[in-house]
């Protein structure tokens, strides 16, 4: 067996799988090391992919040529487009997955990816020579040599589980933790800290009374995650169920607070503000009488249900007593309790935008090791780390994405510029150009970049080209098609839309909030004929066209703003300024600029505590 590789990826979670398949598909000889080959792509927490802003990241991964979108479609048991009542910048796809099918699809993918090899083992030490990583050593005593290493260790480094006073070492329940790497990297000057996350109990569906709950069905329209036409949702579609906690539930939880690791000092690390445990909700929102819960199915052939909204590290009996006060769960039988987990992470301001560490060349971090939470954030980082690891091996320009190009760009820039003081979760509000970063146009934004990298396939580009040509033809038709008042006014009145006094172009009617392209096709036969001429992906193309027409002015304005600010991203300051010597900068600015060492003026301007006057001082210095 040859123990020499271009890229070694440590950890086969969502970041690791994307990193490994990306590097291998680009041509690097790649090794994926995992503790358990049966848990590749494991959904450690909820059995779902996507959500607010997270769904946009998955579509971006897919557009670049990554795998998460395809695998999610293949394993989907419910799909919904969130935020449809808001503008298209906020629309976010989300899919429940069959947990076991999701793993099986990832195993199938990594096992059949050319250039990708798998090794089951635990990594105990990195081999670093003269500040450059050259390989690693495993618990089985194997020394692997590599040009680059990508660490995607999730919650496994120093993992410690909490269920009440009960503590158990592990990266996930019933799975061992990993030791050695944190200690080694800290000895080399890399800053590490601890974070905390958690998960709810899992309930046996046979013990749930669904008649007391509200059914939440999925959507059955054309939406999915992958832009590839051949990617389909084929599994049986299932419902989620809604119920609520009540005052009795809260009383039971309050009784157990003294035994809660979150409140008795047992857990000291940083927890997620945006996905709090049920005990944190009860304390923080003491005046709230109930909290909504979603029971999510784990799979088509499984009786396991995930209780979304009830993460907890309370003692087992407290969890049972509280759960059984909830409507529909009076006789609930648990498969396993919820628990909290503490784990090691590294300050992400120690990374470049490529996710390579500044201190150790050719060493990359991706996923929860960087202080993020969520499969989607991990997958996006893994893809970018895998791409840049390949580039480091074979040459070429480093690959990064700007804040105006992708949510993945926003995510990574936030991490390396601002750092984290809690587990980082993506929201649409974090993106200043979210109208440019819609879920419907990720392929237009990114697939050409993926193709130039050698990651997106020719098939993907052919489909994109065809879609754009059809969309341009439809847009041109709508902008040029004349409409007479006599032909449309009776229809407009049925839609509570003002009647025309003069003729106009069809595009003027599309701009009205009450009207859509498909609505107008009912009254404009020529438009219906144009739509009927689209032989595939009709609904997707019509929806994307309508978004561009309705929001064209806003999109153009936002693009102009983005282009202006983008100029600062091209003013490189790496190694050009001794910040400590510039007394005209504030003390806070000198300290933060020295610590983070921004690569550009644009990045410097986004560091918390850096004022516009500080930025102007830097620009003046560079002018000199």
Bridge-based pairing state of the strands 304-308 and 292-297: antiparallel
Instruction: Identify the CA nearest to 353 among candidates 563, 572, 133, 61.
Output: 572
Q: What is the dihedral of CA 607, 609, 614, 615, to 10 degrees?
A: 30
**CB contact set of 307 (below 8 Å; sequence gap of 6+):** 200, 201, 202, 203, 293, 294, 295, 323, 338
Tell me the pLDDT tens digit for each residue of 28-68.
999 999 999 999 999 999 999 999 999 999 999 999 999 99
Task: List, for the chain, all residue ranges whose pLDDT scores fall below the cut of 50.
Answer: none
Q: Which residue has the tokens 């990064």?
A: 400
- The H or E element that residue 616 is part of is helix 612-623
- The residues that bridge with 150 in the sheet, in sequence order, are 9, 364
Tell me the pLDDT tens digit for each residue of 81-111.
999 999 999 999 999 999 999 999 999 999 9
- Are residues 527 and 492 in contact, defined by beta-carbon separation less than 8 angstroms? no
Cα gap 491→500, rounded to integer Å: 11
Backbone angles phi, psi at 116, to 5 degrees: -105, 125
Cα gap 583→601, rounded to integer Å: 18
Bridge-based pairing state of the strands 202-204 and 304-308: antiparallel
Bridge-based pairing state of the strands 166-169 and 160-163: antiparallel
Q: Which residue has the tokens 């157990």?
A: 256
pTM: 0.94
Cα gap 448→434, rounded to integer Å: 20
Cα gap 179→157, rounded to integer Å: 6
Angle at Cα 195 formed by Cα 193 and Cα 201, nearest 5°?
160
Q: What is the pLDDT of residue 162?
A: 96
Tell me the pLDDT tens digit for each residue of 200-256.
999 999 999 999 999 999 999 999 999 999 999 999 999 999 999 999 999 999 999
Ramachandran assignment for 559, one of left (phi > 0), alpha (psi -120 to 50 degrees), beta (any other): alpha
Q: What is the pLDDT of residue 624?
A: 53
Instruction: Identify the CA nearest to 450 among candidates 6, 26, 9.
Output: 26
Instruction: Give helix 54-64 / helix 442-453 axis angle, nearest 10°.
Output: 40
Determine the number of helices (DSSP H) and then strands (DSSP E) in the chain. 21, 22
Q: What is the pLDDT of residue 470?
A: 96
- Are residues 214 and 38 in contact, defined by beta-carbon separation less than 8 angstroms? no
Q: What is the pLDDT of residue 615?
A: 85
CA distances to 122, 559, 593, 597, 603 from 565, in Å: 45, 10, 20, 20, 11
- Evaluate the CA torsion angle 66, 67, 70, 72 in order and state its sign: negative
């Amino acid at each position: 067996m040859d123990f020499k590789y271009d890229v070694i990826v440590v950890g086969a979670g969502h970041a690791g799988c994307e990193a490994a398949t990306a590097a291998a598909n680009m041509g690097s000889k790649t090794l994926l090391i995992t503790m358990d080959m049966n848990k590749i792509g494991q959904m450690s927490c909820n059995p779902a992919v996507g959500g607010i802003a997270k769904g946009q990241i998955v579509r971006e991964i897919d557009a670049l040529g990554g795998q998460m979108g395809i695998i999610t479609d293949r394993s989907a048991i419910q799909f919904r487009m969130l935020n449809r009542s808001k503008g298209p910048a906020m629309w976010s796809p989300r899919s429940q997955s069959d947990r076991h099918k999701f793993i099986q699809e990832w195993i199938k993918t990594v096992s059949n990816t050319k250039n990708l090899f798998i090794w089951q083992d635990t990594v105990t030490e990195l081999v670093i020579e003269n500040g450059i990583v050259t390989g690693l050593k495993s618990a089985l005593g194997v020394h692997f040599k590599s040009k680059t290493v990508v660490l995607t260790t999730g919650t496994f480094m120093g993992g410690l589980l909490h269920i009440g006073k009960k503590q158990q070492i592990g990266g996930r329940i019933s799975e061992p933790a990993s030791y050695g790497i944190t200690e080694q990297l800290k000895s080399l000057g890399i800053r590490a800290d601890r974070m905390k996350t958690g998960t709810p109990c899992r309930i046996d569906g046979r013990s749930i009374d669904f008649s007391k709950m509200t059914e939440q069905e999925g959507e059955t329209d054309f939406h999915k995650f992958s832009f590839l036409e051949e990617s389909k949702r084929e599994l049986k579609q299932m419902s989620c169920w809604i119920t609520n906690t009540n005052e009795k539930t809260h009383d039971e939880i309050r009784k157990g607070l003294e035994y809660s690791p979150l409140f008795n000092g047992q857990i000291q690390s940083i927890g997620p503000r945006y996905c709090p445990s049920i005990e944190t909700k009860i304390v923080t929102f003491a005046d709230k009488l109930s909290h909504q819960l979603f029971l999510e199915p784990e799979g088509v052939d499984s009786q396991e249900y995930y209780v979304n909204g009830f993460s907890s590290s309370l003692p087992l009996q407290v969890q049972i007593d509280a759960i059984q006060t909830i409507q529909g769960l009076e006789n609930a039988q648990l498969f396993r309790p919820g628990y909290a987990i503490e784990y090691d992470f590294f300050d992400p301001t120690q990374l470049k935008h490529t996710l390579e560490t500044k201190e150790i060349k050719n060493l990359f971090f991706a996923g929860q090791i960087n202080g993020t939470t969520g499969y989607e954030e991990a997958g996006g980082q893994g893809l970018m780390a895998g791409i840049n690891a390949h580039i480091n091996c074979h040459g070429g320009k480093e690959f990064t994405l700007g804040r105006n190009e992708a949510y993945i760009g926003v995510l990574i820039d936030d991490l390396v510029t601002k750092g984290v003081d809690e587990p980082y979760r993506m929201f649409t509000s974090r993106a200043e150009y979210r109208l440019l970063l819609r879920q419907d146009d990720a392929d237009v934004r990114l697939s050409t970049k993926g193709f130039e990298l050698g990651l997106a396939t020719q098939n993907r580009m052919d489909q994109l080209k065809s879609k754009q040509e059809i969309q341009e033809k439809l847009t041109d038709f709508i902008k040029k098609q004349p409409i007479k008042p006599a032909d449309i006014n009776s229809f407009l009145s049925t839609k509570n839309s003002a009647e025309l006094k003069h003729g106009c172009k069809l595009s003027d009617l599309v701009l009205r909030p009450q009207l859509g392209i498909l609505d107008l096709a009912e009254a404009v036969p020529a438009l219906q004929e144009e739509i009927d001429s689209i032989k595939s992906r009709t609904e997707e193309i019509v929806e994307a066209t309508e978004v561009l027409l309705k929001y064209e002015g806003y999109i153009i304005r936002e693009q102009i703003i983005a282009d202006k600010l983008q100029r600062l991203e091209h003013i490189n300051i790496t190694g050009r300024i001794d910040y400590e010597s510039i007394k005209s900068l504030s003390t806070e600015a000198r300290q933060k600029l020295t610590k983070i060492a921004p690569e550009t003026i644009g990045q410097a301007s986004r560091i918390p505590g850096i004022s516009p006057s500080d930025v102007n001082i830097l620009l003046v210095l560079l002018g000199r």
